[in-house]
Amino acid sequence: MKVLVAAPLHEKAIEVLKNAGFEVVYEEYPDEERLIELVKDVDAIIVRSKPKVTRRVIESAPKLKVIGRAGVGLDNIDLEAAKERGIKVVNSPGASSRSVAELVFGLLFAVARKIAFADRKMREGVWAKKQAMGIELEGKTIGVVGFGRIGYQVAKIANAFGMNVLLYDPYPNEERAKEVGGKFVDLETLLKESDVVTLHVPLVDATYHLINEERLKLMKPTAILINAARGAVVDTNALVKALQEGWIAGAGLDVFEEEPLPADHPLTEFDNVVLTPHIGASTVEAQMRAGVQVAEQIVEILKG
């Protein structure tokens, strides 16, 4: 059996494949033409958010039985074409949950304690002690929008910090909520009562621009918004307006409607906004887990 690894993969994952007796071919991010050549005799392909596994690629791979995505989103894979051929598609949705949750707190502290701002000032030779007055998290209320894998980890950490936890999810899991000391409320209540609002919903029709002008206006002027879900869950223009007009106190953003975020984007102008380039899952541990989980599923399918 032959597996094409078409994106960087943790060595432990490669080991899983080799220990199963598979031949592993590695080529980083081949373009479509090259991928078409490479897939001719492979039983499985592993990708990340790149390269694109198009219909043409799938149709050029007569032996292909499984496509593995080390990570979550499957938007780079033509699922319809895979389904038509009976090719299984596997991923590792939970592998990065803890990493994303920890980044949420990284962003939150950076905004709440003005860390990124103070660091920028230090580098300019400015001792910005007075301008860097912050707030504590203990005793504050965090509103977790979307209480799934990541939302749960965020709520667990928030609980450990002594925050009050409000939750909003159309499919409330009361038992898990109890575990993290969380209380389910409707979205309006969550937005009105939270000092921190953090988004952990999938991007679907119902969540596109979920956080719009009207909902930003419900938030406290002292509140911080964190988005490490998907850029389009927030109406960016409305957020820029909210920051300009002081409807909220700041934001920490890992995801954007347009990625990479253009260098001259209005969001880069605010001192009270902290930006990271979609690095929620970028940890050694998350990458290892994602790779190993996908490799193990591929072994099971090809050997099963």
Which residues are at the interface with ligand NAD (CB under 6 A)? 72, 93, 96-97, 100, 145-151, 168-171, 200-203, 206-207, 228-230, 254-255, 278, 280-281
Query: What is the token pair recorded at 94?
Result: 């939970």
Q: Which residues contact 132 (CB under 8 A, 6 or more apart)?
A: 113, 114, 117, 118, 121
Please state the closest distance from residue 92 (CB atom) to ligand NAD, in A: 10
Instruction: Give catalytic status of residue 174 as yes or no.
Output: no
Instruction: Give catalytic status of residue 259 as yes or no.
Output: yes
Please state the closest distance from residue 193 (CB atom) to ligand NAD, in A: 16
Please state the closest distance from residue 48 (CB atom) to ligand NAD, in A: 12
In three-state secondary structure terms, 251 is: strand
Q: Which is nearer to ligand NAD, 24 or 290 (CB)?
A: 290
Gap between the Cα atoms of 261 and 264, Å rounded: 8
Gap between the Cα atoms of 290 and 150, Å rounded: 15
Kindly name the residue from 230, 257, 289, 296 that is annotated as catalytic. 230
Query: 74 and 67 in contact (C-beta within 8 Å)?
Result: no
Q: Which is nearer to ligand NAD, 30 or 280 (CB)?
A: 280
Smallest Cα–Cα separation from 146: which of 195, 102, 97? 97
Kindly name the residue from 27, 209, 278, 296 that is annotated as catalytic. 278
Instruction: Give catalytic status of residue 200 as yes or no.
Output: no
159 exposure class (CB count in 10 Å sphere: 0-12, 13-18, 19+): middle
Gap between the Cα atoms of 294 and 182, Å rounded: 32
Kindly name the residue from 37, 214, 259, 269 that is annotated as catalytic. 259
Gap between the Cα atoms of 176 and 150, Å rounded: 12
Please state the closest distance from residue 301 (CB atom) to ligand NAD, in A: 22
Please state the closest distance from residue 178 (CB atom) to ligand NAD, in A: 16
What is the DSSP-derived secondary structure letter of residue 104?
Answer: H
Query: 75 and 95 in contact (C-beta within 8 Å)?
Result: no
Please state the closest distance from residue 127 (CB atom) to ligand NAD, in A: 33
Gap between the Cα atoms of 92 and 302, Å rounded: 17
221 exposure class (CB count in 10 Å sphere: 0-12, 13-18, 19+): exposed
Looking at the annotation, which residues are catalytic? Answer: 230, 259, 278
